[in-house]
């Protein structure tokens, strides 16, 4: 090793005091959310029936660049932040690459992922508004876990609709949430109109994220004192996650290093949007240039094979419509897909940046993702979440290109979490039983045919 540190930690007093909103520096802004009943842009009043007031203001604001982080949230952040920026010396050596590889590790908290950064903010604003509780959905369970922790801290009730197949496959994830005081209901349930309808139409269904979202929204709007919160996709979530990029940029400045390529996995886009935010801001203002790469699963390829169109975010079609790269609201990845990142759509902000060619995207097959995960675990020691391993795969691919060209690029990627609850997926990989099913063009066309006809 040379004399540069393996880990760069910031001091607590270097924890950012504001979040950064990329949209303020975009000349062409992301398209507005539309009210599904009227087809017109959502007003604050429309959204406040579903979401907390302060979060609605963050959602709709595309001109304010900086939002001060309230002290209560910064105090909570101190329990697990600033997170380390790590130089992947052992990975570089194993790859024989001249590239310098860094990763920002967000798995250093019990919920195991970056999702806590936004969960604590959303729980804080709900409490500040005097609400009793919040409702949400969770797929793999990281968001539900993060939100349960945050709600326990602020004394809020937390109702989680967990996609039924995960509820059954990940009993320990469920128990973590219950330990923090959340109630966890398998979705589709018989507790909501939309759940009963979906169960009647598709008996025995093991659920989907889109369906769990509809159930959580219905529960929020029919219970006084409750609002719905979402762990990805929305602008407010990208705003809270900007803490990742802001810390990373400060750490790089201390090291005197500038990254050339910034890589993140993309499910709904929140960790990637947060990691790239301040760097994208520099690019948008013409101050610096970077390459940004979104890495998504080939079995749920929203950016690389999706359409840029208005679409529903949920199966029940009760949420606002968002203009985004989408595979269609009814798209469900193949049952063999084990790598997470299974939402059919994408953040509207990242979608617009991608459409303006300010960002690139690649898709990777899940067997390649788990190969990268295993290689990373064996070299850098951390057992990565399958989602995060998409970014590892992306970084390894770029580092191998550097080996071939002899260029010593500096690569930063987001290591969003740990994979302890994903051992069934690792088991399938270790047993050689993991397969790669990619949707056919016909599968996608069927799904695109149901896109709402707007604009």
Q: Which residues bind ligand PLP (CB under 6 A)?
A: 113, 115, 142, 232, 265-271, 341, 385, 387-388, 416-417
Nearer to ligand PLP, 267 or 328 (CB): 267
CB of 207 to ligand PLP, least distance (A): 17
Give, as one character, the DSSP assignment of residue 54: H
Q: Least Å distance between CB 196 and ligand PLP?
A: 28
Q: Which of 116, 120, 105 is nearest to 154 (CA)?
A: 120
Is 149 in contact with 180 (CB distance < 8 Å)? Answer: yes
Q: How far is the CB of 442 from ligand PLP (least distance, A)?
A: 27
Tokens coding 269 = 């886009």
φ, ψ for residue 101, nearest 5 deg: -115, 130
Taking residue 221's Cβ as centre, other Cβ atoms within 10 Å add up to 15
Of 20 and 97, the one with the shorter C-beta distance to ligand PLP is 20
| Cα–Cα distance for residue pair 148/145, rounded to 1 Å | 5
In the complex, what is the shortest distance from the CB of residue 292 to ligand PLP, in angstroms, rounded to a whole number?
A: 14
In angstroms, give the least distance from the CB of 142 to ligand PLP.
3
Nearer to ligand PLP by C-beta: 131 or 209?
Answer: 209
Among all residues, whose Cβ is closest to ligand PLP? 417
Q: Measured from the CB atom, is 166 or 270 closer to ligand PLP?
A: 270
Q: Six-digit token pair at 47? A: 């959204």
CB 408 to ligand PLP: min, Å: 28
Q: How far is the CB of 393 from ligand PLP (least distance, A)?
A: 13
Nearer to ligand PLP, 21 or 192 (CB): 21
Cα distance between residue 391 and residue 88, in whole Å: 14
Give the HSE-up count for residue 210: Cα atoms under 13 Å, Cβ half-sphere. Answer: 25
- Residue 93 CB, shortest distance to ligand PLP, in Å, is 26
Shortest Cβ 236–ligand PLP spacing (Å): 12
Decide: helix, strand or coil at residue 160: strand
CA distance to 157, 259, 340, per residue, from 188 (Å)? 21, 44, 19
Contact 340, 386 (CB under 8 A): yes
Among 74, 82, 76, CA closest to 9: 82
Number of CB atoms found within 10 A of residue 289's CB: 9
- Alpha-carbon distance of 298 to 363, in angstroms, equals 5
Q: Which of 327, 324, 300 is nearest to 310 (CA)?
A: 324
Report the residue number, 232 or 363, with the smaller CB distance to ligand PLP. Answer: 232
Nearer to ligand PLP, 33 or 131 (CB): 33
Residue with smaller CB distance to ligand PLP, 123 or 295: 295
Question: Is 131 or 385 the residue whose CB approaches ligand PLP more closely?
Answer: 385
Q: Partners of 362 in the beta sheet?
A: 295
If the CB atoms of residues 58 and 97 are measured against ligand PLP, the closer one turns out to be: 58
Check if the beta carbon of residue 103 is closer than 8 Å to that of residue 412: yes
**For ligand PLP, which is the closer residue by CB, 131 or 425?**
425
Beta carbon of residue 397, minimum distance to ligand PLP (angstroms, whole number): 18
> Under DSSP, is residue 414 helix (H, G, I), strand (E, B) or coil?
strand
- Using alpha carbons, list the distances in angstroms from residue 170 to 65, 145, 332, 396, 427: 39, 12, 19, 29, 14
C-alpha distances in Å from residue 397, one per residue of 274, 354, 394, 400, 411: 22, 20, 5, 5, 11
Using the structure block, give the residue that is written with the tokens 């029940």: 316
Q: Based on CB atoms, which residue is closest to ligand PLP, 268 or 301?
A: 268
- Angle formed by the axes of helices 116-128 and 53-60, nearest 10°: 120
- Min dist. Cβ of residue 304 to ligand PLP (A): 15
Shortest reach from residue 279's CB to ligand PLP, in Å: 16
Neighbours of 454 (CB within 10 A): 11
């Amino acid at each position: 090793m040379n004399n540069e540190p393996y880990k760069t930690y910031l001091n607590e007093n270097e924890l950012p005091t504001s979040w950064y909103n990329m949209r303020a520096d975009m000349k062409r802004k992301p398209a507005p959310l539309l009210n599904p009943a009227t087809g017109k842009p959502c007003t604050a009043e429309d959204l406040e029936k579903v979401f907390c007031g302060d979060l609605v203001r963050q959602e709709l604001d595309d001109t304010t660049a900086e939002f001060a982080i309230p002290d209560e949230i910064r105090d909570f952040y101190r329990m697990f932040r600033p997170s380390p920026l790590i130089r992947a010396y052992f990975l570089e050596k194993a790859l024989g690459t001249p590239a310098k590889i860094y990763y920002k590790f967000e798995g250093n908290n019990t919920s195991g992922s970056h999702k806590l950064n936004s969960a604590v903010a959303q729980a804080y604003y709900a409490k500040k508004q005097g609400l009793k509780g919040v409702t949400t959905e969770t797929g793999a369970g990281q968001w539900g876990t993060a939100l349960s922790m945050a709600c326990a801290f602020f004394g809020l009730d937390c109702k989680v609709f967990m996609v039924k197949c995960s509820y059954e496959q990940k009993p320990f994830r469920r128990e973590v949430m219950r330990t923090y005081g959340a109630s966890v209901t398998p979705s589709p349930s018989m507790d909501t109109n939309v759940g009963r309808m979906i169960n009647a139409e598709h008996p025995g269904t093991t659920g989907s994220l889109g369906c769990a979202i509809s159930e959580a929204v219905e529960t929020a709007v029919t219970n006084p004192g409750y609002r719905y919160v979402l762990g990805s996709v929305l602008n407010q979530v990208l705003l809270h996650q900007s803490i990742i990029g802001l810390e990373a940029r400060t750490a790089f400045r201390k090291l005197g290093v500038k990254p050339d390529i910034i890589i993140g996995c993309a499910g709904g886009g929140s960790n990637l949007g947060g990691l790239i935010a301040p760097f994208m801001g520099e690019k948008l203002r013409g101050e610096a240039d970077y390459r940004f790469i979104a890495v998504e699963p080939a079995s749920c390829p929203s950016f690389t094979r999706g359409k840029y169109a208005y679409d529903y975010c949920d199966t029940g079609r009760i949420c606002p419509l968002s203009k985004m790269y989408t595979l269609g609201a009814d798209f469900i990845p193949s049952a063999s897909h084990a790598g997470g990142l299974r939402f059919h759509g994408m953040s509207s902000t990242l979608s617009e940046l991608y459409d303006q060619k300010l960002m690139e995207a690649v898709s990777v097959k899940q067997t390649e993702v788990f190969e990268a995960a295993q290689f990373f675990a064996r070299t850098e020691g951390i057992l990565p979440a399958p989602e995060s391993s998409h970014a590892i795969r992306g970084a390894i691919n770029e580092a191998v290109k550097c080996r071939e060209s002899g260029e010593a690029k500096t690569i930063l990627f987001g290591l969003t979490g740990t994979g302890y609850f994903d051992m069934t997926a690792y088991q399938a990989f270790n047993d050689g039983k993991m397969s790669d099913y990619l949707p056919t063009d016909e599968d996608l066309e069927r799904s695109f045919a149901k896109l709402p006809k707007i604009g």
